[in-house]
């Protein structure tokens, strides 16, 4: 696969982020642009300037893991960035097509019964299953109530990135909207490196780039991240402010899919808010049956 432009922009953007001081090099007042020079990265990676320049031009096909690791160390890549560089190299020489399990499109996938049972058994917090494109593929009842703005607008197509950048309701739901935008784009950027053949992903990126300047700017930054664990703030229109911890778990039986579970600190206002939301959701679910009693 010819992904040289992607490689070139990623390596260039990482080099621009590293200052000489961070790399243990003497600072110079003659620098015209921020970051390291190619010659400095080459020296840090113990390779010739000509060879590193070839890599930065996008020629990663056939490059050994040792060379990739040397570049990652020189550019001070974090774990997510290092993995992204490896995926770009695999895509460049075609090895990803041989080793990556084939992924089904969203339209072909539905949760098997035991997975939905598992989600439904989680009653204290929202739980969802997403793919790398940030499509919500399955959810427990509390998650459907939690993401009521997303599920309530068909234009979102149950996609968290589309909701973030195209639905005005996201500005209220995410008090830290800028942070959520950064995270969504970084996750999509990582997925694009891991699965460069995903047409649905390319279509999503094209749509968001066309319709959202915020997405377009972030996409050009080439940041990547893993969505593992942390804390997020939300504002739900029915129960107010919520501060929730989350854990993202890869599904061994479904390569490329992740289950994310949100929980609140015990005895906190957020835990009380989730209880209230669960009660409101249960009342809403029961309402149709009460309105249409059986004879």
For 204-227, how does the pLDDT look when each residue is reduced to its tens digit (9 = 90+)? 999 999 999 999 999 999 999 887
Residue 111: predicted pLDDT: 83
Is residue 157 pLDDT above 90, yes or no?
A: yes
Helix (H, G, I), strand (E, B) or coil at 130: strand
Is residue 294 pLDDT above 50, yes or no?
A: no
Task: Please indicate, yes or no, if residue 79 is contained in any of the structural domains.
Answer: yes
For 117-145, how does the pLDDT look when each residue is reduced to its tens digit (9 = 90+)? 999 999 999 999 999 999 999 999 999 99
Mean pLDDT of 164-169: 98
Count: domains in the chain: 2
Task: Name the band, by pLDDT with cuts 50, 70 and 90, for residue 290.
Answer: very low
DSSP, res 128: E
pTM across the whole model? 0.81
Do residues 136 and 161 both lie within one domain? Answer: yes
Cβ atoms 130, 136 nearer than 8 A: yes
Mean pLDDT of 90-104: 60
Domain that holds residue 14: 4-99
For 20-66, how does the pLDDT look when each residue is reduced to its tens digit (9 = 90+)? 888 888 776 677 777 899 999 999 999 999 999 999 999 998 999 99
Residue 124: predicted pLDDT: 95
Cβ atoms 233, 241 nearer than 8 A: yes
Is residue 284 pLDDT above 70, yes or no?
A: yes
Is residue 98 pLDDT above 50, yes or no?
A: no
Pairing of strands 258-263, 127-130: antiparallel
Copy the structure tokens of residue 47: 């390779």
- The residue among 46, 76, 99 that closes a domain is 99
Query: Which neighbouring-strand residues pair with 250?
Result: 258
Is residue 276 pLDDT above 90, yes or no?
A: yes
- The residue among 48, 72, 99 that closes a domain is 99
Pairing of strands 258-263, 240-250: antiparallel
Mean pLDDT of 245-253: 95
Q: What order of strands is seen across the sheet that includes strand 229-236?
A: 136-139, 127-130, 258-263, 240-250, 229-236
Residue 94: predicted pLDDT: 75
Top pLDDT among 4 and 136 is at: 136
Top pLDDT among 12 and 24 is at: 12
Residue 34: predicted pLDDT: 76
- Domain holding 31: CATH number? 1.10.260.40
Do residues 114 and 38 both lie within one domain? Answer: no
What is the rounded distance in angstroms from the CA atom of residue 79 to the CA atom of residue 127? Answer: 26
Task: Please indicate, yes or no, if residue 295 is contained in any of the structural domains.
Answer: no
């Amino acid at each position: 696969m010819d992904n040289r432009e992607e490689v070139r922009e990623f390596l260039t953007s990482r080099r621009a982020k590293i200052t000489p001081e961070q790399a243990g090099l003497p600072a110079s007042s003659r620098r015209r642009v921020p970051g390291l020079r190619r010659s400095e990265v080459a020296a840090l990676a113990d390779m010739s300037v000509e060879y590193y320049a070839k890599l930065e031009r996008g020629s990663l096909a056939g490059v050994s893991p040792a060379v990739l690791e040397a570049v990652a160390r020189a550019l001070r890549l974090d774990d997510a960035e290092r993995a992204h560089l490896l995926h770009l190299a695999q895509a460049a020489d075609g090895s990803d097509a041989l080793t990556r399990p084939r992924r089904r499109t969203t339209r072909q996938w539905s949760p098997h019964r035991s997975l939905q049972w598992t989600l439904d058994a989680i009653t204290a917090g929202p739980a969802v299953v997403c793919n790398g494109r940030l499509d919500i593929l399955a959810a427990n009842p509390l998650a459907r109530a939690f993401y009521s703005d997303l599920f309530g607008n068909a234009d979102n197509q149950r996609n968290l990135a589309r909701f973030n950048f195209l639905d005005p309701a996201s500005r209220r739901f995410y008090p830290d909207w800028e942070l959520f935008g950064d995270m969504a784009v970084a996750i999509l950027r990582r997925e694009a490196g891991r699965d460069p053949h995903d047409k649905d992903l390319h279509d999503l990126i094209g749509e968001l780039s066309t319709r959202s300047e915020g997405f377009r700017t972030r996409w050009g930054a080439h940041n990547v991240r893993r969505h593992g664990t942390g804390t997020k703030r939300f504002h739900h229109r029915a129960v107010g402010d919520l501060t929730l911890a989350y854990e993202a778990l890869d599904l061994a039986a479904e390569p490329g899919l992740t289950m994310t579970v949100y929980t609140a600190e015990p005895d906190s206002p957020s835990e009380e808010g989730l209880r209230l939301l669960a009660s409101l959701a249960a009342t809403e679910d029961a309402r149709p049956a009460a309105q249409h009693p059986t004879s």
